[in-house]
Structure 1
């Protein structure tokens, strides 16, 4: 069994355990997935208003999880040069973490449609006001 301490995800609001689970089913190793998450994370910061317009969201422990359409996710990744397997791993990590947040939030609908994916973003102090 893995622990969150096994893989350090730095400032990315996705646990190491999720990264390890995702890595079991895809080609990139956990370290490569974390590197991609760290590359993507700064692009996500400050985009809360954009994601709030796209779909449902919940806030858990300083992290906001959004449920968005796959096309919005694909548009987001267009600016990165991730190979297809790494892009899939990043999408899966974000979606699994978002599902966990929706599941643990009382009253939230935790069912994702087949064309929906998750996005998780840390909330900085300025965005909370």
Structure 2
């Protein structure tokens, strides 16, 4: 677990650089916001989280059944992460922000689709 990078991962960098080149300015890991979003586009009040599939419970019911070692610990840990994500999203919405979660592998494999999803939210919010 010591090798797990919490900030500025490759997928996060790819998404952030693409947004920057498109002219969208942002703050990274803004501690003023709940959950310190990976990318916070303050002008549009959009908080983007680039989430790791394992740590944030993608396909959790399927993955949970496949856990073998230290099963109780990992189930509790990941379900706490999922509950925290939901709580942070609720806090952001209460402040008028739009939370957006992108899976790390999707950000790396299909960056264009992720950027299109972000841009559609930005355009929809300010039409």
Same fold flag (TM > 0.5): no
> Which has more radius of gyration?
2
* TM-score (normalizing by structure 1): 0.32
* TM-score (normalizing by structure 2): 0.32
